[in-house]
Amino acid sequence: MTNEDKCRERLETIRQILEQSKMNPDFKEIDRIFKLTEDLSNENN
């Protein structure tokens, strides 16, 4: 799996989380987004 594949996969996951959060104001998975993007930032540095 290339870095680009990983990015696409994570972006898709983030999109799904955001969709769920729109439907449910009490949805607290935003931390997962930060974790996913934090990992990505670390890989690029």
Per-residue pLDDT of 6-30, as tens digits, reads 989 988 888 888 888 777 777 777 7
| 3 vs 24: which has the higher pLDDT | 3
pTM: 0.54
Angle, vertex CA 37, rays to CA 31 and CA 38, nearest 5: 85
Domain edges within the chain: 3-44
12 Ramachandran zone, left/alpha/beta (phi>0; psi -120 to 50): alpha
